[in-house]
Structure 1
Amino acid sequence: MRGVAELPLHTGHVPPWLASRMRKLAALVLKLLVDEYGTKGTLERLSDPVWFQAFNNLIGMDWDSSGSTTVTTGIIKEVLAREELGLKVAGGKGKRSRETPKELMEIADKFGLEGEKYVRISRLVAKVDTVALQTGYQLYHHTFFLDEEGNWAVVQQGMNPEKKLARRYHWFNAEAFTIDPHKAVAGFKCLYALNTVALESKTFQRTLLEIAAEGPGGLKRDLETIKAMVRGYAVFYKPRDVDVRAVMRRYESLGRLELNERVLEFLKEGGIKNYEEFLLIRGLGPGTLRALALVAELVYDVHPSWKDPVTHPIDPFKFAYAVGGKDRVPFRIERGTYDELIRFLEDVVARKGDRELLKNMAKITKGWRPPEDDKIPTP
């Protein structure tokens, strides 16, 4: 399963006749998965971007669309709300993402888990992909998967309206949230990314906390000094061999430089022990972190990573041949064929006797690759 999917931003909707079939097929696949691999194994697969995209293609969603994330996670959430498989989903797209804490508390209570723990994880992973890692993509979708054993996965997505592309972030049972925390990131690599959670960013994180703890006064002066450097004024601690204008352009390409004085006053009072706690401060946004990082780089000569952590340019296009695609790529969905597949899998789930047949079919088709001419971008 190799290749490239751009995940372009698409509008539109799934027609009711297709959505109802997607729910039936997704329910059958999830039952087979939980039965075969358990809930933890199911979460591991959902946190694999290639597997996730294959699941999306299998149920008939567009093979290369931003809807791969929003529709597929929405379908899975609906299915797991009805089925008792020991696995539930919170969150979703837009305003639904803001319901995540409430829904997580309800799910945790049902499973006998500590809800606050998972609410904190939810907030933290969202802050990492909004503030700590900046690539020009704005987070607009956040889905949290939790099983009754306390295993979790997050699938969230950001958009870049200017490039008309989406990027998907996958998390699974992370223990360290500020050092290379992702299970995977799916999308096109950017030339550079402000990445303060890269493995090599430990020293930078410590320096950033020290700078922030000095309060807003000194930081304002440092920013004014940098602006003077950009205008060509010489200052006594100007870094040697550094193109200050180029550095400033790189930061400003990600958005405005801002200082939230309330956040900085709070930091000055102390009590923040580590970078995780720093990221969770309410009011800390990407603009403030950009300003802090710029001061760290140009005044203190401590540099963040600019490595984009994308791991998967994904494209399991072959799975779109199961029933076809919503936008007729690689072919139009035939309702009868879709219904026949559902009936077959219903029989497999009910009798549990034909699973070896499924495994043998998988072996036969493992090496098959679809014709490149069929791989038409979704309109």
Structure 2
Amino acid sequence: MQAPGQRTGTANLPLHGGHAPSWLFQRMARLSREIVAAIIIQSGPGEMLRRLSDPYWFQAFGCVLGYDWHSSGVTTTVCGALKAGLKGTERELGLYVAGGKGRAAHNTPKDIERMGELIAASPSALVYASRMSAKVDNVALQDGYTLYHHSFFFTADGKWAVVQQGMNTTTLYARRYHWLGETVSDFTNEPQSAICCEVHGATLNLVDAESAGTRQVITEVAHREEPRWLTAELKKVTLTMPRREYIAASDINMTRLTQSLESLLERRPETFEEVLAIKGVGAKTLRALALISDIIYGKAPSLRDPATFSFAHGGKDGHPYPVDRTLYDRSIATLADAVRRAKIGDREKMDALRRLSSVYTARM
């Protein structure tokens, strides 16, 4: 069984509607298949997962396929093109794609189980990895973005990567999250190693290292505390407590919180990951539990937005997040090499390299 994954980066992009034209999508599917095949033939499917988990490489890949650099649609369209383009080649190339946008995201477990008959790895372990990566980015990290796209890539031996995206309808931005299954053994402690972002906002980050005390308190509360005593204490302190930016008064429903705490107590989770994995433990429950940790036990959660770098030279909020040129140069070089080796026509190859060159020039 592969270890739980590490989020390797995220990207914030303007939220755009619409769809790629049919002719463009078909071309993207075919071109993506040939580029992926070139990478896998030379370096194996595991290396392809590493490329997909690199936000810079993924963004440049979308541009090579012919999609707008600075648009939320690059995520859903590129993942959709990969799923369509690789259909029928999975066993040959050793790379499988599940999930997608909207309803397709909810069907990810079924996709994995259906293709699980073709692989040596345990489908249940892959389904768990898919579900937990989504729950971390939707519930444990509350950054204002709600997931609406989830693509799960995996190999026959159980390695995996995730590319998923959330939307913030207030700021009209989307944020993309990348995960790589081979890099860490804990879903709940610093799962991200890099974040691409242009917009920062109020965040409750329960997977930050600074939230270790909060995670411990939440687990202990869920495991052994009397729910009615806790809610009674919480009711007392919330009458006079200072404002907490990660929770509003309307979030605290004592009846529902008591029910959630009773449900947790019945299961007696031993770790924060087990708390997070329980169905029904959502964003509001975790905000209330974080408040209990903060107010009653004195362990405040981290409010750090884990964004660390961006595709742009400056963020929308005026703070610079410069491109890491060394990583970016490496991503461009490996993608250009894959295009040159892809089994496509010379004209198509030249067009793809020209698009890549124009993107590189514009970014630098």
* TM-score, L = length of structure 1: 0.76
1:125 to 114, 129, 133: 133
Q: Contact 2:11–2:195 (CA<8 Å) still a contact in 1?
A: no
Please show how residues 133-282 of structure 1 align to structure 2 within 5 Å.
Answer: 133-173=141-181, 174-213=184-223, 214-230=225-241, 244-245=242-243, 247=244, 249-252=245-248, 256-258=251-253, 259-282=256-279
CA deviations over 1:177-214 (Å, ceiling 9, x no partner): 11111354332352442111112322221111222342
- Shift in Å, 1:311: 3.1
Q: Contact 2:120–2:157 (CA<8 Å) still a contact in 1?
A: no
Q: Aligned AA for 1:265?
A: E
- Counterpart CA distance in 2 for 1:16 and 1:368 is 27
Please show how residues 1-379 of structure 1 align to structure 2 within 5 Å.
Answer: 6-83=12-89, 84-173=92-181, 174-213=184-223, 214-230=225-241, 244-245=242-243, 247=244, 249-252=245-248, 256-258=251-253, 259-314=256-311, 348-350=341-343, 369-370=361-362
Q: Contact 1:48–1:184 (CA<8 Å) still a contact in 2?
A: no
CA deviations over 1:264-304 (Å, ceiling 9, x no partner): 21222353111111101110010010011112112211011
Structure 1, unaligned stretches of length 5 or more? 231-243, 317-343, 373-379
- Shift in Å, 1:107: 2.1
- CA distance 1:81–1:215, shift in 2 (3 Å): farther
Between 1:147-156 and 1:106-115, the stretch displaced more is 106-115
Q: Contact 2:260–2:285 (CA<8 Å) still a contact in 1?
A: no
CA deviations over 1:50-109 (Å, ceiling 9, x no partner): 100001111111211111111111111111223231001111111111111111112222
- Counterpart CA distance in 2 for 1:188 and 1:115 is 36
SS in 1 for 2:93: coil
CA deviations over 1:205-246 (Å, ceiling 9, x no partner): 11112223424312322332233104xxxxxxxxxxxxx12x
Q: Contact 2:231–2:257 (CA<8 Å) still a contact in 1?
A: no
Q: Contact 1:130–1:139 (CA<8 Å) still a contact in 2?
A: yes
* TM-score, L = length of structure 2: 0.79
| Other-structure match for 1:337 | none
- Shift in Å, 1:116: 0.6
- Counterpart CA distance in 1 for 2:363 and 2:163 is 30
- Shift in Å, 1:260: 4.2
RMSD of equivalent CA atoms: 3.0
Between 1:54-63 and 1:269-278, the stretch displaced more is 269-278
Q: Which runs of 4+ in 1 moved over 3 A?
A: 257-263, 347-351, 364-368
CA deviations over 1:28-60 (Å, ceiling 9, x no partner): 111111122211111001001010000111111
- Shift in Å, 1:369: 2.2
Between 1:304-313 and 1:139-148, the stretch displaced more is 304-313
- Counterpart CA distance in 2 for 1:273 and 1:89 is 33
Q: Contact 2:98–2:151 (CA<8 Å) still a contact in 1?
A: yes
CA deviations over 1:107-144 (Å, ceiling 9, x no partner): 22211211111111111111111111101111111111
- Shift in Å, 1:348: 4.8
SS in 2 for 1:229: coil
- Counterpart CA distance in 2 for 1:91 and 1:283 is 22
Task: Count the aligned residue pairs.
Answer: 318
| Other-structure match for 2:316 | none
Q: Contact 2:53–2:179 (CA<8 Å) still a contact in 1?
A: yes
